[in-house]
Amino acid sequence: MKEKLAEIKKAFIERAAAAESEETVEALRVEFLGKKGLITGVMKLMGQLSPEERPAFGQSANEVRNYIDSKIAEKKKEIKALELEKALEKETVDVTMPATKVPEGSLHPLNKVTEEMKRLFIGMGYEIAEGPEVEYDYYNFEALNLPEGHPARDTQDTFYITDKMLLRTQTSSVQIHVMEHKKPPIRIISPGKVYRADNLDATHSPIFHQLEGLVVDKGVTMGDLKGTLEVYAKAMFGENTKIRLRPHHFPFTEPSAEVDVTCWGCGGTGCRICKGEGWVEVLGCGMVHPDVLRRCDIDPEVYSGFAFGIGIERTALARYGVSDLRQFFENDVRFLEQF
C-alpha cells in the first residue's frame, strides 16, 4: 500500500512538472484529489489493512494529499503569473509614439510680468487701483503740474479726443483718482495701458503698458523710495542687482529721478544689452510734488509720498529675451505658446 502511495506521488510530480495550463492543472487535481481520484481510490483500500496499520497509513495518505494540494495551488499561481506576463507583453506600447494632447493654454508675457510685479507689491502692502484710459486732460496733465502750455507736454505726444479729453499718456493719472477718494495711508500700484503717438517699430508702440506706484503717508522719505525700488530690482532682475538713481525732472515729483539697474546681461561690466554702459534704465520716480498733494486735499506739511512708473514692455523684453516689441501685439500663437 505504501508503495502505491509513493507511486502516486511520483506520478503526480512528473505530470505536474509537465503541466503548462490552468486546465491541465485542474485536470490533475481531479485525477489525483477528486472524488474518484487516485488518492481517494487508495484511501478506499484502507479497509484491507489491519487496525494497527491504518493510522500510519492514513497519515501517509494525508501527507501525500496535502502535498499534492499545495503543489497544485502553487502551480496554478505560477501559471497565472505567467499568463498575466504574456498578456501584458501583448499590451506593450511604443512609448516613443506622440502623446495625446491635453489642451494647453497660456497667459500673455506682458501680463505675466505684470502679475509678478503685482504679487511683489501686494506682499509689501499695496492695493491695486485702476483708472480710465480715455481720460480728462485734468487727471493726465493739469493735476500733475502740467498745465496747458507746459513744455513738458511735448515729451508725451498725446492722442486727443477733445480739448478736455485724451488717451492717457501715463498711469500717473490714477494717482489723482486715488488721492481724491482715499486718504493716507495710501499704498497702491496701478498697471494699465497708456497711449502715445509713436509709430510702431521694434522698440516703440502707440499703446504700451506701465505700472504706477504711489505711497502717501506720514514720514515717507526718499530713502524709502530708494529702498522700495531696490527690493523691486532684486525681485525682478535677480538678487545681485544694484540700482542707481539719476536726478531727472518730472513735473509731478520733486526730487525726481530716473532709475538704472545693473545690466541683467552682463551684471554691470558692459554688453550688447546695455550698450556697454553696464546700466539699463528701467523706471522713473520721485517724491510726490507738494502741489499735487495739495490739489487732492492732502496737506503736504503733514504727509509726504513717493511715486514711480515702470515700463512693462521693457521689462518683458529683458525678461524673455524678446528683441522686437511688435511680437507682443501680433498675438501669433507660436509666439504666445513659448511663455
Provide the minimum distance between the beta carbon of 323 and other proteins in the complex, in angstroms, as a whole number.
18
Provide the minimum distance between the beta carbon of 164 and other proteins in the complex, in angstroms, as a whole number.
7
Nearer to other proteins, 4 or 182 (CB): 182
Provide the minimum distance between the beta carbon of 321 and other proteins in the complex, in angstroms, as a whole number.
18
Return the bridge partners of 248, or none.
256
Provide the minimum distance between the beta carbon of 115 and other proteins in the complex, in angstroms, as a whole number.
8
Nearer to other proteins, 16 or 285 (CB): 285
- CA count, 13 A, side-chain hemisphere, 177: 20
Nearer to other proteins, 124 or 273 (CB): 124
Task: Decide if residue 215 touches other proteins (CB under 8 A).
Answer: yes
* Binders of other proteins in range 97-136 (CB under 8 A): 102-108, 110-111, 115, 118, 121-128, 130, 132-136
Binding part of the chain for other proteins, among 7-15, 36-44, 82-90, 214-222 by CB under 8 A, reads 214-222
Give the count of beta carbons closer than 10 Å to the beta carbon of residue 312: 23
Draw the binding track, 243-262, toward other proteins (x: CB under 8 A; -: no contact): -xxxxxx-x--xxxxx----
Return the bridge partners of 193, or none.
209
Provide the minimum distance between the beta carbon of 138 and other proteins in the complex, in angstroms, as a whole number.
11
Distances (CA, A) of 98 to 18, 122, 302: 44, 42, 67
Nearer to other proteins, 41 or 123 (CB): 123
Provide the minimum distance between the beta carbon of 200 and other proteins in the complex, in angstroms, as a whole number.
8
Distances (CA, A) of 222 to 124, 215, 266, 281, 303: 17, 11, 29, 19, 13
What gap in Å lies between CA 78 and CA 69, rounded to an integer? 14
Provide the minimum distance between the beta carbon of 188 and other proteins in the complex, in angstroms, as a whole number.
10
What are 55's three cell numbers? Answer: 493510522
Pairing, β 134-136 against β 165-167? antiparallel
Return the bridge partners of 189, or none.
128, 213
Number of residues that bind other proteins (CB under 8 A): 85
Q: Which of 106, 135, 166, 170 is nearest to 336 (CA)?
A: 106
- Residue 3 three-state SS: helix
Of the residues 140, 304, 310, 318, which one makes contact with other proteins according to CB under 8 A: 304
* Binders of other proteins in range 147-166 (CB under 8 A): 148-152, 155, 159-162, 164-165
Of the residues 15, 76, 182, 226, which one makes contact with other proteins according to CB under 8 A: 226
What are 236's three cell numbers? Answer: 525682478
Distances (CA, A) of 17 to 79, 305, 328: 12, 92, 73
Provide the minimum distance between the beta carbon of 238 and other proteins in the complex, in angstroms, as a whole number.
17
What dihedral angle (degrees, nearest 10) is formed by the CA atoms of 48, 52, 53, 59?
Answer: 120
Binding part of the chain for other proteins, among 32-40, 65-73, 87-95, 221-229 by CB under 8 A, reads 221-229
* Binders of other proteins in range 26-85 (CB under 8 A): none
Of the residues 1, 79, 206, 273, which one makes contact with other proteins according to CB under 8 A: 206
Degrees, nearest 5: CA angle 292-295-300: 65
Provide the minimum distance between the beta carbon of 215 and other proteins in the complex, in angstroms, as a whole number.
7
What gap in Å lies between CA 156 and CA 219, rounded to an integer? 32
Task: Decide if residue 207 touches other proteins (CB under 8 A).
Answer: yes
Nearer to other proteins, 15 or 244 (CB): 244
| Sign (positive or negative) of CA dihedral 293, 297, 303, 309 | negative
Task: Decide if residue 289 touches other proteins (CB under 8 A).
Answer: yes
What gap in Å lies between CA 190 and CA 175, rounded to an integer? 8
Nearer to other proteins, 24 or 159 (CB): 159
